[in-house]
Amino acid sequence: MNTTEQSQSTTSVYLVTGATGAIGKAIARQLAATDNAEVVLVCRDQAKADNTVQEIIDATGNTKVRYELADLSVYGDIRALAQRWQGSLQVLINNAACTPRSRQVSADGIEMQFATNVLGYFWLTELFTDILRASAPARVVNVASYWAGGLVLNDLEFTSRRYNNDTAYRQSKQANRMLSTAFAHRLKAYNISVNACHPGDVNSVLSNNLGFGGHETPDQGAETPVWLATQPIGQQQTGKYFEHKHETTCRFSNNLKAANDLFECCEEYSNND
Protein backbone atom coordinates (compact mmCIF):
# COMPACT_ATOMS: atom_id res chain seq x y z
CA MET A 1 0.00 0.00 0.00
CA ASN A 2 1.42 3.38 -0.95
CA THR A 3 1.31 6.42 1.31
CA THR A 4 -1.73 7.94 -0.42
CA GLU A 5 -3.73 4.73 -0.16
CA GLN A 6 -2.74 4.33 3.48
CA SER A 7 -3.82 7.90 4.25
CA GLN A 8 -7.16 7.43 2.52
CA SER A 9 -7.90 4.26 4.50
CA THR A 10 -7.05 5.74 7.90
CA THR A 11 -10.07 6.16 10.14
CA SER A 12 -10.78 9.65 11.45
CA VAL A 13 -12.46 9.66 14.85
CA TYR A 14 -14.80 12.57 15.60
CA LEU A 15 -16.25 13.45 18.99
CA VAL A 16 -19.38 15.62 18.72
CA THR A 17 -21.12 17.20 21.71
CA GLY A 18 -24.74 18.29 21.75
CA ALA A 19 -25.37 15.69 19.08
CA THR A 20 -29.08 15.13 19.72
CA GLY A 21 -29.88 18.79 18.99
CA ALA A 22 -30.75 20.16 15.57
CA ILE A 23 -27.29 21.34 14.51
CA GLY A 24 -25.35 18.70 16.43
CA LYS A 25 -27.26 15.85 14.85
CA ALA A 26 -26.69 17.30 11.38
CA ILE A 27 -22.97 17.69 12.12
CA ALA A 28 -22.71 14.08 13.29
CA ARG A 29 -24.68 12.76 10.31
CA GLN A 30 -22.61 14.71 7.78
CA LEU A 31 -19.40 13.48 9.39
CA ALA A 32 -20.64 9.88 9.40
CA ALA A 33 -21.28 10.19 5.67
CA THR A 34 -17.60 10.97 4.97
CA ASP A 35 -15.08 8.28 4.11
CA ASN A 36 -13.51 6.27 6.94
CA ALA A 37 -15.27 8.17 9.69
CA GLU A 38 -15.97 6.98 13.20
CA VAL A 39 -18.34 9.30 15.04
CA VAL A 40 -18.89 9.41 18.79
CA LEU A 41 -21.78 11.45 20.13
CA VAL A 42 -21.73 12.88 23.64
CA CYS A 43 -25.26 12.96 25.02
CA ARG A 44 -27.07 13.35 28.35
CA ASP A 45 -30.26 11.44 27.53
CA GLN A 46 -29.79 7.74 26.76
CA ALA A 47 -33.08 7.32 24.90
CA LYS A 48 -32.34 10.29 22.65
CA ALA A 49 -28.80 8.99 22.16
CA ASP A 50 -30.03 5.54 21.09
CA ASN A 51 -32.50 7.04 18.64
CA THR A 52 -29.98 9.50 17.19
CA VAL A 53 -27.29 6.88 16.67
CA GLN A 54 -29.75 4.58 14.88
CA GLU A 55 -31.05 7.47 12.77
CA ILE A 56 -27.53 8.37 11.65
CA ILE A 57 -26.62 4.76 10.89
CA ASP A 58 -29.82 4.34 8.86
CA ALA A 59 -29.17 7.56 6.94
CA THR A 60 -25.49 6.97 6.15
CA GLY A 61 -24.93 3.22 6.26
CA ASN A 62 -21.97 3.87 8.56
CA THR A 63 -22.12 1.49 11.52
CA LYS A 64 -19.16 3.14 13.26
CA VAL A 65 -21.41 5.54 15.14
CA ARG A 66 -21.84 5.32 18.91
CA TYR A 67 -22.41 7.50 21.94
CA GLU A 68 -21.03 8.29 25.35
CA LEU A 69 -23.19 9.62 28.16
CA ALA A 70 -22.01 12.71 30.03
CA ASP A 71 -23.39 15.91 31.48
CA LEU A 72 -21.14 18.55 29.98
CA SER A 73 -21.93 21.05 32.73
CA VAL A 74 -20.20 18.76 35.24
CA TYR A 75 -16.41 18.57 35.43
CA GLY A 76 -16.43 15.06 36.89
CA ASP A 77 -18.48 13.69 34.00
CA ILE A 78 -16.07 15.12 31.43
CA ARG A 79 -13.05 13.88 33.35
CA ALA A 80 -14.59 10.39 33.53
CA LEU A 81 -15.26 10.47 29.79
CA ALA A 82 -11.64 11.35 29.05
CA GLN A 83 -10.38 8.69 31.46
CA ARG A 84 -12.42 5.91 29.87
CA TRP A 85 -11.64 6.97 26.30
CA GLN A 86 -9.77 4.34 24.32
CA GLY A 87 -7.97 4.85 21.05
CA SER A 88 -7.32 7.97 19.02
CA LEU A 89 -9.28 11.17 18.49
CA GLN A 90 -8.59 13.34 15.47
CA VAL A 91 -11.35 15.93 15.86
CA LEU A 92 -13.22 17.31 18.88
CA ILE A 93 -16.31 19.37 17.99
CA ASN A 94 -17.60 21.38 20.93
CA ASN A 95 -21.20 22.16 20.06
CA ALA A 96 -23.36 21.55 23.16
CA ALA A 97 -25.11 24.61 24.55
CA CYS A 98 -28.15 25.55 26.60
CA THR A 99 -30.17 28.74 27.07
CA PRO A 100 -32.40 28.36 30.16
CA ARG A 101 -34.77 31.27 30.55
CA SER A 102 -34.20 31.52 34.30
CA ARG A 103 -30.89 31.37 36.14
CA GLN A 104 -30.08 27.75 36.90
CA VAL A 105 -26.99 26.09 38.33
CA SER A 106 -25.22 22.86 37.44
CA ALA A 107 -24.62 19.96 39.79
CA ASP A 108 -21.31 21.68 40.57
CA GLY A 109 -23.19 24.83 41.59
CA ILE A 110 -22.08 26.86 38.55
CA GLU A 111 -24.46 29.03 36.51
CA MET A 112 -25.74 26.68 33.83
CA GLN A 113 -24.91 28.58 30.63
CA PHE A 114 -21.39 29.34 31.78
CA ALA A 115 -20.95 25.73 32.94
CA THR A 116 -22.22 24.14 29.73
CA ASN A 117 -21.47 26.63 26.98
CA VAL A 118 -18.07 27.78 28.23
CA LEU A 119 -16.57 25.45 30.82
CA GLY A 120 -17.86 22.39 28.98
CA TYR A 121 -15.82 23.46 25.93
CA PHE A 122 -12.86 24.37 28.12
CA TRP A 123 -12.84 21.13 30.12
CA LEU A 124 -13.27 18.89 27.07
CA THR A 125 -10.36 20.56 25.29
CA GLU A 126 -8.22 20.54 28.42
CA LEU A 127 -8.93 16.94 29.43
CA PHE A 128 -8.64 15.53 25.89
CA THR A 129 -5.42 17.38 25.08
CA ASP A 130 -3.18 14.37 25.72
CA ILE A 131 -5.39 12.17 23.53
CA LEU A 132 -5.42 14.77 20.76
CA ARG A 133 -1.63 15.14 21.02
CA ALA A 134 -1.19 11.39 20.64
CA SER A 135 -3.51 11.48 17.60
CA ALA A 136 -2.02 14.57 15.95
CA PRO A 137 -2.47 16.14 13.51
CA ALA A 138 -5.70 16.87 15.35
CA ARG A 139 -8.24 19.68 15.60
CA VAL A 140 -10.76 21.29 17.88
CA VAL A 141 -13.77 23.02 16.33
CA ASN A 142 -15.70 25.29 18.68
CA VAL A 143 -19.23 26.09 17.57
CA ALA A 144 -19.62 29.71 18.67
CA SER A 145 -21.85 32.38 17.13
CA TYR A 146 -21.87 35.84 15.62
CA TRP A 147 -24.40 36.58 18.38
CA ALA A 148 -21.65 37.35 20.90
CA GLY A 149 -20.52 40.07 23.27
CA GLY A 150 -21.02 41.61 26.68
CA LEU A 151 -18.63 39.38 28.61
CA VAL A 152 -17.94 40.60 32.16
CA LEU A 153 -14.88 38.85 33.52
CA ASN A 154 -15.66 39.53 37.18
CA ASP A 155 -19.29 38.39 36.89
CA LEU A 156 -19.20 35.37 34.58
CA GLU A 157 -21.99 33.63 36.53
CA PHE A 158 -24.42 36.55 36.84
CA THR A 159 -24.14 36.82 40.59
CA SER A 160 -24.03 40.62 40.44
CA ARG A 161 -25.96 41.26 37.21
CA ARG A 162 -29.58 40.37 36.67
CA TYR A 163 -29.66 37.11 34.72
CA ASN A 164 -30.98 37.29 31.19
CA ASN A 165 -30.62 34.22 28.99
CA ASP A 166 -29.84 36.24 25.87
CA THR A 167 -27.12 38.24 27.68
CA ALA A 168 -25.69 35.03 29.16
CA TYR A 169 -25.72 33.32 25.77
CA ARG A 170 -23.97 36.21 24.02
CA GLN A 171 -21.34 36.23 26.77
CA SER A 172 -20.79 32.49 26.40
CA LYS A 173 -20.30 32.74 22.65
CA GLN A 174 -17.80 35.58 23.08
CA ALA A 175 -15.98 33.35 25.55
CA ASN A 176 -15.90 30.47 23.04
CA ARG A 177 -14.22 32.70 20.50
CA MET A 178 -11.70 34.07 23.02
CA LEU A 179 -10.83 30.65 24.41
CA SER A 180 -10.31 29.27 20.90
CA THR A 181 -7.49 31.79 20.48
CA ALA A 182 -6.05 31.05 23.92
CA PHE A 183 -6.03 27.30 23.28
CA ALA A 184 -4.69 27.76 19.75
CA HIS A 185 -1.57 29.46 21.11
CA ARG A 186 -1.05 26.71 23.69
CA LEU A 187 -1.66 23.72 21.41
CA LYS A 188 -0.08 24.83 18.13
CA ALA A 189 3.26 23.25 19.05
CA TYR A 190 1.51 19.88 19.34
CA ASN A 191 -0.02 20.13 15.83
CA ILE A 192 -3.51 20.66 17.25
CA SER A 193 -5.52 23.41 15.58
CA VAL A 194 -8.32 25.23 17.40
CA ASN A 195 -10.86 27.28 15.47
CA ALA A 196 -14.27 28.76 16.17
CA CYS A 197 -17.23 29.30 13.88
CA HIS A 198 -20.78 30.53 13.56
CA PRO A 199 -22.90 27.53 12.52
CA GLY A 200 -25.85 29.26 10.88
CA ASP A 201 -29.29 30.47 11.96
CA VAL A 202 -31.28 27.30 12.60
CA ASN A 203 -34.70 26.97 14.20
CA SER A 204 -33.97 24.97 17.36
CA VAL A 205 -34.87 24.64 21.02
CA LEU A 206 -31.88 26.85 21.79
CA SER A 207 -32.87 29.62 19.39
CA ASN A 208 -36.50 29.42 20.46
CA ASN A 209 -35.49 29.90 24.10
CA LEU A 210 -33.76 33.10 23.00
CA GLY A 211 -36.89 34.28 21.20
CA PHE A 212 -35.62 33.59 17.69
CA GLY A 213 -36.60 31.23 14.92
CA GLY A 214 -34.14 30.50 12.14
CA HIS A 215 -34.09 30.62 8.35
CA GLU A 216 -31.50 27.90 7.68
CA THR A 217 -31.90 24.13 7.79
CA PRO A 218 -29.86 22.06 10.29
CA ASP A 219 -27.77 20.78 7.38
CA GLN A 220 -26.97 24.34 6.33
CA GLY A 221 -26.11 25.15 9.93
CA ALA A 222 -23.74 22.20 10.08
CA GLU A 223 -21.81 23.08 6.92
CA THR A 224 -19.16 25.34 8.43
CA PRO A 225 -18.35 23.16 11.48
CA VAL A 226 -18.09 20.07 9.24
CA TRP A 227 -15.95 21.99 6.74
CA LEU A 228 -13.52 22.95 9.51
CA ALA A 229 -13.53 19.39 10.82
CA THR A 230 -12.82 17.69 7.50
CA GLN A 231 -11.16 20.08 5.05
CA PRO A 232 -7.44 21.03 5.02
CA ILE A 233 -8.12 24.62 6.08
CA GLY A 234 -9.29 23.40 9.48
CA GLN A 235 -5.79 22.04 10.13
CA GLN A 236 -3.83 24.74 8.34
CA GLN A 237 -5.45 27.60 10.27
CA THR A 238 -5.62 27.95 14.04
CA GLY A 239 -7.01 30.55 16.40
CA LYS A 240 -9.35 31.84 13.68
CA TYR A 241 -13.08 32.55 13.50
CA PHE A 242 -15.25 31.56 10.52
CA GLU A 243 -18.73 32.36 9.24
CA HIS A 244 -20.28 30.68 6.18
CA LYS A 245 -16.97 28.94 5.41
CA HIS A 246 -15.04 32.21 5.31
CA GLU A 247 -12.54 33.52 7.83
CA THR A 248 -13.95 36.59 9.57
CA THR A 249 -12.19 39.13 11.75
CA CYS A 250 -13.05 38.52 15.40
CA ARG A 251 -12.72 41.57 17.62
CA PHE A 252 -12.76 39.38 20.73
CA SER A 253 -9.99 37.03 19.64
CA ASN A 254 -7.60 39.84 18.77
CA ASN A 255 -7.12 40.73 22.44
CA LEU A 256 -4.81 37.93 23.54
CA LYS A 257 -4.39 39.33 27.05
CA ALA A 258 -8.14 39.30 27.63
CA ALA A 259 -8.35 35.78 26.18
CA ASN A 260 -5.60 34.61 28.52
CA ASP A 261 -7.29 36.28 31.49
CA LEU A 262 -10.47 34.36 30.70
CA PHE A 263 -8.46 31.17 30.23
CA GLU A 264 -6.97 31.58 33.71
CA CYS A 265 -10.42 32.16 35.19
CA CYS A 266 -11.64 28.92 33.63
CA GLU A 267 -8.58 27.08 34.94
CA GLU A 268 -9.61 28.03 38.45
CA TYR A 269 -12.82 26.05 38.03
CA SER A 270 -10.74 22.98 37.13
CA ASN A 271 -8.44 23.51 40.09
CA ASN A 272 -11.37 23.85 42.47
CA ASP A 273 -12.79 20.43 41.63
Distance CA 55, CA 36 (A): 19
Cβ-contact 237, 130 below 8 angstroms: no
CA atoms within 13 A on the CB side of 216: 17
Active site positions, annotated: 169
Mark out the alpha helices in 115-238 (DSSP H runs): 120-127, 129-135, 165-187, 205-209, 218-230, 233-236
Distance CA 222, CA 180 (A): 19
Look at residues 91, 32, 88 and name the one whose alpha carbon lies nearest to residue 64: 32
Map residue 65 onto helix, strand or coil.
strand
Map residue 142 onto helix, strand or coil.
strand
